[in-house]
Amino acid sequence: MGALSGRTALVTGASRGIGRGIAERLGRDGARVAVHYGTNEAAAKETVAAIEAAGGAAFPLGVELGRPGDAEALWAEFDRHADGVDIIVNNAGIGTAPALEEIDEAEFDRVFAVNVKAPHFIVQHGLTRLRDGGRVVNISSGLARTAVMPDKMAYAMTKGALDVFTRDLSKVLGPRGITVNSVAPGIIATDNTAGLLGTEEGRAQAAAISALGRVGAPADVADVVAFLASDGGRWITGSWVDATGGSLT
């Protein structure tokens, strides 16, 4: 029996990168995983297949976030497969944003719609489905606590807002025994960081930021999320968990 056997998890943005790593880990721990994707259905089905090949259970869930009614549409699709949820991982997000001098209002609104508004309303509309004793994990960023990349200001702002959401939501849901935490990755090797890590020089520079001297992998973040989702994480709530590999030290 896995640590999460009998539980149902929703992981947004789970078709690739960190989200896929989280979905696969929760699946290995016994959770039935709703693998959310925005547009890449094939990638989401690959994640589902990987979970099932490892002996787990999962189903794809396709809804593009950042549009009016996205949260209602997501839960309507979820309800076709499950009658409740124990773990919500708000991972989906736009992973970058143009610099202050370049970003326009439409781009600014879009990154906030996906990174902040969507998680807020996914939780709001999920409250009647989220079981007592459940877990909410929001994927933040080390950039919420450091100005090392000021050219990504708008993106960093969204993660700061998400952290405030985490803090206050923990007080709202605490009486139901539901924990709420932020997990903040540093530089993780995914297709989203391929441009940065595509050269030996770029990868070496990224590795040097970490106190551990390497670039992170999706599993490094997924293992932290899995702990918070387990019974072992029951006494941690309202916290910002540094999963940057010591990049902020």
163 CB neighbour count, 10 Å cutoff: 20
- For residues 164 and 118, the answer to whether their CB atoms sit within 8 Å is no
CA–CA separation, 208 vs 210, rounded Å? 5
Phi, psi angles (nearest 5°) of residue 219: -65, -30
Average pLDDT over residues 133-154: 95
With bands split at pLDDT 50, 70 and 90, how would you rate the model's confidence at 138? Answer: very high
The pLDDT of residue 145 is 94
CA–CA separation, 229 vs 223, rounded Å? 10
Q: What percent of the chain is modeled with pLDDT above 90?
A: 90
Q: Is 37 a catalytic residue?
A: no
The pLDDT of residue 56 is 98
SS3 209: helix
The pLDDT of residue 1 is 67
The pLDDT of residue 249 is 82
Residues 6+ apart with CB under 8 A from 104: none
- Burial, 113: exposed, middle or buried (Cβ in 10 Å; 0-12, 13-18, 19+)? middle
Would you say residue 20 has pLDDT above 90?
Answer: yes
- For residues 59 and 8, the answer to whether their CB atoms sit within 8 Å is no
The pLDDT of residue 83 is 96
The pLDDT of residue 195 is 75
Which CATH class name applies to 8-189+220-239? alpha beta
Domain positions in the chain are: 8-189+220-239
SS3 58: strand
CA atoms within 13 A of residue 192's CA, in its CB half-sphere: 18
Q: Which of 75, 78, 155, 165 is catalytic?
A: 155
Query: How many angstroms from the chain centroid is the CA of residue 104?
Result: 26
SS3 103: coil
How does DSSP assign 69-89, residue by residue?
THHHHHHHHHTTT-S-EEEEE
Q: What is the mean pLDDT of the chain?
A: 96
Would you say residue 213 has pLDDT above 70?
Answer: yes
The pLDDT of residue 104 is 97
Q: State pLDDT tens for residues 63-110.
A: 999 999 999 999 999 999 999 999 999 999 999 999 999 999 999 999
Q: pTM (2 decimals)?
A: 0.96
CA–CA separation, 31 vs 58, rounded Å? 8
CA atoms within 13 A of residue 203's CA, in its CB half-sphere: 11
Q: State pLDDT tens for residues 150-202.
A: 999 999 999 999 999 999 999 999 999 999 999 999 999 888 777 777 888 88
Would you say residue 135 has pLDDT above 70?
Answer: yes
